[in-house]
Each structure stands twice: as structure tokens, then as C-alpha cells.
């Protein structure tokens, strides 16, 4: 691998690959972004970002203007290859679906040359780099450590703040050997301001899964606390806020369930390689049960199901101010509500594509018996209860994120129920 500006081929131009490609291009590297999806390739080359991400639009336009980035469907030769393809869950067997990683490795293998560096950024179960990816790359006839270098650098950036976090977060680098780790560190140093920690391939794979399993478990605990608070006539949000004043306590917020391409998936990658997974499985079970819990809150507010009751879902993205609906708890809530006889109308100002039809806010609230805030999009704060008052059939709202201004809604006559809150003021 040459020093200074490099030719970099990034496979996968999604939430992780596209910002990574733009950041490398911003540092005078010549980046080829490869995606199998023609629509993604076309929109990137036109300077249109296919996802919502602050700061990314400008980065992409700058990269295209400087001729340091081009998107295409096929891989070609380069100094560095980076794999940022999806690693979804095979839901039937609850294991990592590694077909995209396998395919990307094959695409690279055809173009691999002496002294290349290959980096796997995708999240994978421990052992996948050595057992699956390296053998495919070595089908090229080149040997890792002798002819080419290989590292696993799991990405830790968070949607909604990806560009900032890619620059500022610390990075874990697992190398096939020391030289592979050092070359990867040198590469990312061009835009990374965080620290680097070098380790082995398999440990780096494990670290990423520990991080997300820890967060998923923490959320499960918060969700359990929310249910306990409801039974005890207390407000869990206030309790968590006060508990977190302790210098060594950091409880996350409860909610309608856990979604996204990381937290709802990665813990399963640990369970597939071990039989000692009681806590991890329990956390998944608790978090997966939350959409049902939200439905019980709706039923309670409505005093049971009445014929033709309409529920309005506000937000289907898995978190606020992003357009990502992967593994989002909203989908399970909608399906459950339909199975229980409700008619469901859905509104999300950030999401363009979803399994259910999305409607404008006025249409979504029309004849509604109960609004259910699932996602904490900032725009929802601007909903004026007075304006929707004439449209709804019954004035009920469940806030699963403790996000809306209770007083404002109650003043307009809404019965307002917050997940995890049965303190005296609750509705």
C-alpha cells in the first residue's frame, strides 16, 4: 500500500459506507463507492443522498466536485478495499446472514493485488474474518500477512450523528497481524480524531457485539423498570433521571421496543456462538415484548376495543429524526394492533418507504380514537393538539417516549398516558 493519497474501493454505500466514502474522499483519496443497487449508485453520482444524515449532503457534493468519488456497481482494482455491506439477521434461525459479506469478499478477491489492505467494517460474529472472509480472499492465490493485509474495524457511529461520530469516536482495529493493524490505523488517521486501539481480529469482532449487547440489556432493564413503575404508581422517567445522578449509574430510557440494524440484531450474533446466553436472550425477549405492552396501554386508555376503533401511529423509524425503519418496533405494534381488531393509520415525516401506507398528519389523525407516539421525531413537538382536535374521534394519546408536552395536550382535553408513568398527574 502506498503512502499519502490512496485509491480506495468501498463496497456498500449505505448508512455506513457512504459517509465513510465521503470522508476518505474529503482527504484527497480517490474513492470508488460500489453498490449492487443501481438506484443507490445513480443517486450518489447525482449528489443525492438516499438517506437522512446531517452533514452528509455537503460532504457528498464536495467529494463529487473534487472528482474524488465515483459510484459504480462493479468493484475494480485499488490500494484499499473496505467492506460495509449489511449483516442482517436470518430471522428463522436467529443467526447472522452473511451472504452479503461473502459476496463482497468474492468481488474483492477478483481484484486483489500484492500489498493491498482489506478492511471489514461490517459487524460479524467472532471468527468470521478468519473462517469465512480470509479464505475467500486467499482464493485469489495471495496470502494474508505475506501478500496482502487484513483488518476488522467495526464501525460504531450512530445514525443521525454519523459524520460527527465517524470523525470523533475512538476506533477498535483488529488486525490479521501487527502490520495490518498499523496500516488500517494509518489509513483512518486521515480523518479520525478519536484514539485507536489495536487488537486481534476475533477480539475486535467480539468488542462490537459486547457494546451493542450491553446497550440492549440496559434498555431491557429500563423497560422492566418502566413496567414496575406502572404497577407501583410511579414515574420511571423521574426515577431514572435521579438514579443517574449516582456517579456510576447510567440507565438508558425505556421505550416501545428496540430497533435498528445494530441493537436488535447484534446480540443474536453472540448467542449463535455460545450456549451461555441467558442474559442476552432475556434482554431480547423483554425488548421484543414492548410493542405488546404499548398495545395494552392503548387498550387501557380506550377501555377495551370497540368496533372499528382507529389507532394513529406517530413515527415508524426506529429512533428520532432518522429514516431507518429496520427492525423498528412500530411494525410489530401495527401488526399486533391489527390482529387485535384495530384499524391503524400511520404517519412519519422522515420515512419515505414503509411496509404500510404512510399518510399526512391530517389524514392519519382523522377519526382516530387514540394517537400513539412511537418515534421521538423533533417535528412531533410541533403538533398542535388544538388543530387536530376537530379531526380526532376520541381525545386519547399514548406517549411511549415521554417526549410530548403533557400539559399542552391535557389542556386541549386529551387523556395523556406516558409509558412507565403512573404517578398522580398521569391520565
Q: How far is the CB of 105 from ligand NAD (least distance, A)?
A: 9
| Residues 60 and 22: beta-carbon distance below 8 Å | yes
Judging by DSSP bridges, how do beta strands 343-347 and 310-314 pair with one another? parallel
What φ, ψ does residue 352 adopt, rounded to 5°? -100, -40
Q: How many residues bind ligand NAD (CB under 6 A)?
A: 28
Stretch that binds ligand NAD, among 7-15, 217-225, 286-294, 328-336 (CB under 6 A): 7-15
| Residues 61 and 47: beta-carbon distance below 8 Å | yes
Q: How far is the CB of 156 from ligand NAD (least distance, A)?
A: 6
122 binds ligand NAD (CB under 6 A): yes
CA distance linking residue 314 with residue 309, whole number of Å: 16
Run of H or E including 372: strand 370-373
Residues 6+ apart with CB under 8 A from 320: 160, 375, 376, 377, 378, 401, 403
416 binds ligand NAD (CB under 6 A): no
262 binds ligand NAD (CB under 6 A): yes
174 binds ligand NAD (CB under 6 A): no
183 binds ligand NAD (CB under 6 A): no
Establish whether 22 is a catalytic residue: no
Closest CB to ligand NAD: residue number:
14
| Residues 151 and 120: beta-carbon distance below 8 Å | yes
198 binds ligand NAD (CB under 6 A): no
DSSP E strands in 297-342: the ranges are 310-314
Using CB under 6 A, which of 13, 22, 258, 294 touches ligand NAD?
13
| β-sheet bridge partners, residue 171 | 196
| Residues 375 and 318: beta-carbon distance below 8 Å | yes
| β-sheet bridge partners, residue 345 | 312
Q: How far is the CB of 36 from ligand NAD (least distance, A)?
A: 5
318 binds ligand NAD (CB under 6 A): no
From 185, 208, 319, 395, the catalytic residue:
208
CA distance linking residue 57 with residue 62, whole number of Å: 9
Q: What is the 8-class DSSP label of residue 234? A: -
86 binds ligand NAD (CB under 6 A): yes
406 binds ligand NAD (CB under 6 A): no
Run of H or E including 196: strand 196-200
| Residues 116 and 45: beta-carbon distance below 8 Å | no
Q: How far is the CB of 18 from ligand NAD (least distance, A)?
A: 8
Using CB under 6 A, which of 34, 187, 316, 417 touches ligand NAD?
34
Establish whether 91 is a catalytic residue: no
Using CB under 6 A, which of 8, 9, 16, 117 touches ligand NAD?
16
- Residues lying near ligand NAD in the complex (CB under 6 A): 11-17, 34-37, 40, 84-87, 100, 103-104, 107, 121-123, 155, 157, 159, 261-262
- Catalytic residue annotation: 208, 262
Amino acid at each position: 500500500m502506498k503512502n499519502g493519497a490512496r485509491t480506495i474501493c468501498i463496497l456498500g454505500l449505505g448508512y455506513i459506507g457512504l459517509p465513510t466514502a465521503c470522508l476518505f474522499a474529503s482527504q484527497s483519496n480517490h474513492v470508488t463507492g460500489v453498490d449492487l443497487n443501481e438506484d443507490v449508485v445513480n443517486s450518489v453520482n447525482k449528489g443525492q443522498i438516499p438517506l437522512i444524515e446531517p452533514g452528509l449532503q455537503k460532504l457528498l457534493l464536495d467529494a463529487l466536485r473534487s472528482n474524488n468519488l465515483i459510484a459504480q456497481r462493479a468493484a475494480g482494482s485499488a490500494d484499499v478495499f473496505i467492506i460495509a455491506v449489511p449483516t442482517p439477521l436470518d430471522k428463522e434461525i436467529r443467526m447472522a446472514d452473511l451472504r452479503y459479506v461473502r459476496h463482497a469478499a468474492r468481488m474483492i478477491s477478483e481484484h486483489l493485488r500484492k500489498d493491498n489492505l482489506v478492511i471489514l467494517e461490517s459487524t460479524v460474529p467472532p471468527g468470521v474474518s478468519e473462517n469465512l472472509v480470509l479464505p475467500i480472499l486467499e482464493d485469489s492465490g495471495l496470502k494474508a500477512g505475506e501478500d496482502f493485509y487484513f483488518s476488522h474495524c467495526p464501525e460504531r457511529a450512530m445514525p443521525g450523528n454519523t459524520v460527527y461520530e465517524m470523525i470523533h469516536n475512538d476506533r477498535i482495529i483488529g488486525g490479521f497481524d501487527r502490520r495490518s493493524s498499523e496500516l488500517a490505523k494509518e489509513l483512518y488517521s486521515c480523518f479520525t480524531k478519536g484514539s485507536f486501539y489495536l487488537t486481534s481480529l476475533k477480539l475486535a469482532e467480539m468488542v462490537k457485539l459486547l457494546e451493542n449487547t450491553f446497550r440492549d440489556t440496559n434498555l431491557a432493564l429500563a423497560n422492566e423498570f418502566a413496567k414496575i413503575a406502572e404497577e407501583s404508581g410511579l414515574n420511571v422517567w423521574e426515577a431514572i433521571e435521579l438514579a443517574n445522578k449516582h456517579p456510576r449509574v447510567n440507565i438508558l430510557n425505556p421505550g416501545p421496543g428496540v430497533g435498528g440494524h445494530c441493537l436488535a440484531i447484534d446480540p443474536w450474533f453472540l448467542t449463535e456462538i455460545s450456549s451461555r446466553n441467558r442474559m442476552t436472550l432475556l434482554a431480547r425477549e423483554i425488548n421484543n415484548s414492548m410493542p405488546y405492552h404499548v398495545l395494552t396501554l392503548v387498550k387501557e386508555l380506550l377501555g377495551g376495543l370497540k368496533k372499528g376503533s382507529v389507532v394513529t401511529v406517530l413515527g415508524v423509524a426506529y429512533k428520532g429524526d432518522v429514516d431507518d425503519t429496520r427492525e423498528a418496533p412500530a411494525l410489530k405494534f401495527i401488526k399486533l394492533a391489527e390482529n387485535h381488531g384495530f384499524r391503524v393509520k400511520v404517519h412519519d415525516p422522515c420515512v419515505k418507504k414503509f411496509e404500510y401506507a404512510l399518510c399526512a398528519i391530517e389524514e392519519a389523525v382523522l377519526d382516530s380514537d387514540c394517537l400513539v407516539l412511537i418515534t421521538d421525531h423533533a417535528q412531533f413537538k410541533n403538533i398542535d393538539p388544538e388543530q387536530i382536535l376537530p379531526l380526532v374521534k376520541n381525545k386519547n394519546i399514548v406517549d411511549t417516549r415521554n417526549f410530548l408536552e403533557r400539559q399542552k395536550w391535557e389542556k386541549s382535553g386529551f387523556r395523556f398516558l406516558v409509558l412507565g408513568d403512573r404517578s398522580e398527574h398521569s391520565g
